[in-house]
Structure 1
């Protein structure tokens, strides 16, 4: 299974990667609290996903990128654990690579994860918030050195940010390889989010510019 970033073009997915929709679920206060499984889309062994945000056949590419899309990749190649800021809490540590943020907002509930880590009694909720982060920006490391990750099988999810009324990024789950246009492979991670509005300043990854759209 692999995702290849084509020069100024779409994401070329190969290996029969399952594709589905996932919606951000919220509580009565409008806070992101859970994920809602959506429909599975029919695909073949290979397919192309729109990266410019202009396709009339979303989420699939229809060639609209040919009309002037600048898809230059600008993301760095520093490994996550080297790039992330480390926050030492009570009985846990939080890794935070802010530039990966897709603004899914799971980290804001119950006073925010950055405050929660200061009390060991909050380990469960802080861990859940970090694991619900689709972009992999946040990771909890427990006091015994265990890096906690959600169990995700290899698949792609198209995020619908229903509380904000936005089309969210492409959620790549389960360690699928992402190949840059120059043939190199980005660090393989359990969860990352790819831009699909075409406006990210951290291409191919999402930096939440879709939240700026009208």
Structure 2
């Protein structure tokens, strides 16, 4: 079971990993409340997902990358491990914020922002909801003993559609699926990551929110 990144090509998924489409439900303004699974794709044990944004058969690759997609240099495991992370202390939870991983999902803006909620009494469940709905894993919460608190995800992949703002989002990889970026070189396994599928991220293979500025739509 893994995702292998093909140079100038697609994501090759192996190991019969389930594939879904998820949309978000609106909370207020452009801020979402939760993710909702709306479709399960029929897949084989191995399949290829588009990461250039050019396929006419999204989310699957149709070979369009061969004409127009030239990949930037992928970040390495060391690059990922060294991304700037800021720790915030709260009443019940502490928060690790790895801002470069932001995929512009906007759950963190709820009720004045998760950073303010950390120091308000009775907000523990909202803080958990916000952190767990952050698909990229930018926001990770810890208890006061330093134990990481994470949703219990099974290995699966979701194609995200940001219906609140009418745009298409990244690929959400859940449950610790290994990601191979060079031959036999893997990123640190994480419970939540988002992979670019518009082809425009400056942080490839990870999403950096550029799909919002580019108004990317999966059409």
TM-score range, shorter chain: over 0.9
Structure 2: any 5+ residue segments left out of the alignment?
A: none
The within-5 A match list for 1:42-61 is 42-61=42-61
* TM norm structure 2: 0.92
Asked whether the 8 Å contact 1:80–1:97 carries over to 2, the reply is no
The RMSD of aligned alpha carbons is 1.6
Q: Give the distance between the partners of 2:63 and 2:149, measured in 1 at CA.
A: 40
1:58–1:82 Cα change, 3 Å: closer
Cα distance change on mapping 1:126 and 1:28 into 2, 3 Å: closer
1:11 match: 11
| Counterpart check, 1:205 vs 2:213 | no
CA distance in 1, matches of 2:108, 2:2: 29
The match for 1:144 is: 145
Is this contact kept in 1: 2:18–2:43, CA < 8 A?
A: yes
**Conservation of the 8 A alpha-carbon contact between 1:81 and 1:95:** no
- Quick one: distance in 2 between partners of 1:184 and 1:106? 32
| Aligned CA distance change for structure 1 residues 82 and 101 (closer, same or farther; 3 Å) | closer
Tell me the alpha carbon deviations over residues 185-208 of structure 1, each in whole angstroms, 9 at most, x when there is no partner: 001000100000000000000001
Q: In structure 2, do the counterparts of structure 1 residues 198 and 211 end up closer, same or farther at CA, with 3 Å as the change threshold?
A: same
TM-score, normalised to structure 1, is 0.94
Shift of 1:35: 1.1
The alpha carbon displacement at 1:37 in A equals: 1.1
- Secondary structure (helix, strand or coil) at the match of 1:164 reads coil
Provide the C-alpha distance between the structure 1 equivalents of 2:9 and 2:203, rounded to a whole number of angstroms.
16
Contact persistence 2:76–2:187 (CA under 8 A): no
Q: How far 1:28 moved relative to its partner? A: 5.1
